[in-house]
């Protein structure tokens, strides 16, 4: 009996071990299956990704053939940046804001003027997603195109002011009889956050130099100061005057008459616009095909060959074999310290690295610095200024081409150039600096019930942390830093522009100037475009034959596609629309550090 019992115990143990082995076999089997599934899915994903990249790359290299008797179709109802982000399909352009670069617009217009297959331009644009100086550059490029003797026809259901400004270069302007023409002048509006900050119990402590350095006003006032209102009135009048004079010349209508039309909003309705000579014909979209066919002497059954800018730009190639080079270095966006994405702003360390590549290249005979910046960090601006000085010491000619903005820090990095170009409606100057430290202790205590306490080894160890107001010593230190930076800024301008420091101070004080006025003041040398700046750089470097090289190198489309860093900001911008400026304003209070050389406001002009 004891033997039977022993056998039963062995069987129980065997059964127990069998169940245990079975359990772990199932567990490990499942884990192994899951592991191999992950590998398989990853491999399939990689194959799909490689196939997609190969397909997109092939699409991006597709050649576009242009038929005889073609018309270049231009539509600027999208964001216009300095440089196009190349995407293989237009749908990705929409994902990234539907932007096109000024570089491709200008290159296409220049090529089309000499292309025998392009007979004219059909400008079909309601709005133009750009600031005044960029629009002016496109306007002047269209004017140069017209010198080829080819036609420009413009049509829109409704014209914005920028859209209409470009349309005035057309041989014929057409508008939908049920449409609208927006022509009412320029308005600058600034959002003030003081009331919001008061509600939040946030105190913003400001130290500045410059009567007109009004970048801080939205945080300490609830309306524009008299000094700021003075400068903005002059600025808006100057910018409006620039386009009105061009429109007057194109439409043969006096400036006084155009201002009377704008003041009374007399041309909003298409019939009134036609009666006043602002447009030439009322038409529907379908009528344009007939009009263009008649212009090209095409029969009713013949096809009208329209080619869009995105396709036409693929036909343009730089066949220059010249060993001498002119480098175009883009400085676009806010100026910040340290490293960062050059396509998203001017980060001093990253920008200097790219700028060095240009002036260290022995084949580069001159550099054109293309500036489109409202400024930013004063320290970063000084470091970039220094690198431009190094380029000149290395024997390179440096010419600056100002785009929409080259203000404050943007002017700081420009002033050391051998020659400076601006558009008449470029916003520049703003020679002034400020410091801004928010104080959150009341907000934390009164709104959130949070208090802050601690210990310090020294009296001012917690300086600048934002948990208490500045005391007299700290305010004095900040003021001294601002004054020192302003003094250095004005000296850099005086040395670069061969001016007296006292004179620079008198036209500085943070005041923003239009390019047209900056020319009179000696802050720039000539009014002109990027092409003008390139030609001047070649002339100063005694170079006749040259090719162009561009810095920083642009990211490839797949780098842009898989870089989601800015998706959140883009989503916020899309949701908030014009109220995005409020978000930006508060974000600026929280995150801006150090002494700033920046424009006095965010400007949106229609």
- Asked if 377 contacts 106 with a C-beta cutoff of 8 angstroms, the reply is no
Q: Which two tokens stand for residue 240?
A: 């409006």
Helix (H) or strand (E) holding 178: strand 172-181
Terminal alpha carbon distance of the chain: 104
* Distance (Å, whole) CA 230 – CA 212: 9
Cα–Cα distances (Å) from 125 to 122, 155, 156, 401, in that order, read 9, 7, 6, 27
For residue 413, give the nearest of 471, 443, 451, 372 by alpha carbon. Answer: 372
Report the chain's C-alpha Rg in angstroms.
Answer: 31
Report the 10 Å Cβ neighbour count for 506: 12
* Catalytic residue (one of 108, 126, 156, 213): 213
The set of long-range contacts for 217-225, using a CB threshold of 8 Å and a minimum separation of 24, is 217/190, 217/192, 217/600, 218/190, 218/191, 218/192, 218/193, 218/194, 218/585, 218/601, 219/193, 219/194, 219/436, 219/585, 219/589, 220/194, 221/192, 221/194, 222/192, 222/194, 222/195, 223/192, 224/190
Residues across the chain: 606
Q: Is 213 a catalytic residue?
A: yes
Q: Which two tokens stand for residue 555?
A: 């990211």
* Catalytic residue (one of 81, 336, 408, 430): 408
Cα–chain center distance at 384: 19
For residue 558, give the nearest of 95, 87, 89 by alpha carbon. Answer: 87
For residue 128, give the nearest of 161, 102, 152, 175 by alpha carbon. Answer: 161
- Asked if 528 contacts 452 with a C-beta cutoff of 8 angstroms, the reply is no
User: Is the peptide bond preceding residue 370 cis, with omega within 30 degrees of 0?
Assistant: no
- Asked if 210 contacts 511 with a C-beta cutoff of 8 angstroms, the reply is yes
Helix (H) or strand (E) holding 388: helix 378-393
Q: Give catalytic residue positions.
A: 213, 408
């Amino acid at each position: 009996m004891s033997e039977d019992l022993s056998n039963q115990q062995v069987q129980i143990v065997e059964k127990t071990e069998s169940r245990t082995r079975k359990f772990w076999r199932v567990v490990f089997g499942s884990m192994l299956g899951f592991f191999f599934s992950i590998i398989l899915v990853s491999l399939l994903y990689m194959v799909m990704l490689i196939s997609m990249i190969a397909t997109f790359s092939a699409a991006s290299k597709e050649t576009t053939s242009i038929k005889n008797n073609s018309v270049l179709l231009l539509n600027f109802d999208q964001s216009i940046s300095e440089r196009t982000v190349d995407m293989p399909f237009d749908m990705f352009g929409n994902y990234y804001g539907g932007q096109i670069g000024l570089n491709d617009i200008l290159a296409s217009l220049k090529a089309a003027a000499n292309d025998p297959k392009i007979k004219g331009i059909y400008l079909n644009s309601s709005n133009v997603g750009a600031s005044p100086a960029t629009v002016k550059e496109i306007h002047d490029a269209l004017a140069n195109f017209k010198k080829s003797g080819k036609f420009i026809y413009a049509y829109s259901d409704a014209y914005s002011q920028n859209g209409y400004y470009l349309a005035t270069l057309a041989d014929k302007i057409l508008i939908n009889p049920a449409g609208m023409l927006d022509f009412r002048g320029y308005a600058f509006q600034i959002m003030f956050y003081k009331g919001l900050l008061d509600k939040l119990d946030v105190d913003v402590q400001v130290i500045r130099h410059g009567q007109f350095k009004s970048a801080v006003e939205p945080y300490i006032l609830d309306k524009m100061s008299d000094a700021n209102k003075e400068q903005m009135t002059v600025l808006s009048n100057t910018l409006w005057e620039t386009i009105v004079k061009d429109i007057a010349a194109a439409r043969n209508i006096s400036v006084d008459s155009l201002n009377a039309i704008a003041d009374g909003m007399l041309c909003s309705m298409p019939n009134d616009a036609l009666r006043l000579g602002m447009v030439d014909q009322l038409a529907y979209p379908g009528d344009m095909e007939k009009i263009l066919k008649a212009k090209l002497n095409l029969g009713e059954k013949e096809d009208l060959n329209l080619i869009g800018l995105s396709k036409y730009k693929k036909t343009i190639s730089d066949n220059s074999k010249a060993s001498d080079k002119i480098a175009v270095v883009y400085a676009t966006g806010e100026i910040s310290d340290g490293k960062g994405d050059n396509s998203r702003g001017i980060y001093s360390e990253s920008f200097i690295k790219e700028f060095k590549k240009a002036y260290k290249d022995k084949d580069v005979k001159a550099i054109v610095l293309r500036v489109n910046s409202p400024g930013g960090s004063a320290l970063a601006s000084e470091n970039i200024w220094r690198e431009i000085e190094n380029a000149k010491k290395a024997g390179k000619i440096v010419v600056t081409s100002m785009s929409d903005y080259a203000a404050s820090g943007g002017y700081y990095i420009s002033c050391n150039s051998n020659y400076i170009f601006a558009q008449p409606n470029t916003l520049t100057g703003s020679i002034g600096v400020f410091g801004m430290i928010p104080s959150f202790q009341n907000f934390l205590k009164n709104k959130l019930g949070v208090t802050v306490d601690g210990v310090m080894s020294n009296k001012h160890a917690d300086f600048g942390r934002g948990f208490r107001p500045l005391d007299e010593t700290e305010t004095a230190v900040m003021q001294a830093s601002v004054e020192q930076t302003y003094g250095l800024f004005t000296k850099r301008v005086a040395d670069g522009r061969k001016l007296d420091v006292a004179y620079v101070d008198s036209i500085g004080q943070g005041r923003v100037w239009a390019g047209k006025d900056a020319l009179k003041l000696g802050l720039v040398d000539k009014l002109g475009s990027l092409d003008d700046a390139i030609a001047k750089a070649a002339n100063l470097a005694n170079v006749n034959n040259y090719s162009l090289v561009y810095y920083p190198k642009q990211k490839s489309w797949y780098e842009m596609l898989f870089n989601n860093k800015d998706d959140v900001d883009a989503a916020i911008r899309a949701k908030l629309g014009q109220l995005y400026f409020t978000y930006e304003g508060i974000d600026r209070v929280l995150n801006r550090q150090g002494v700033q050389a920046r424009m006095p406001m965010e400007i949106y002009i229609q």
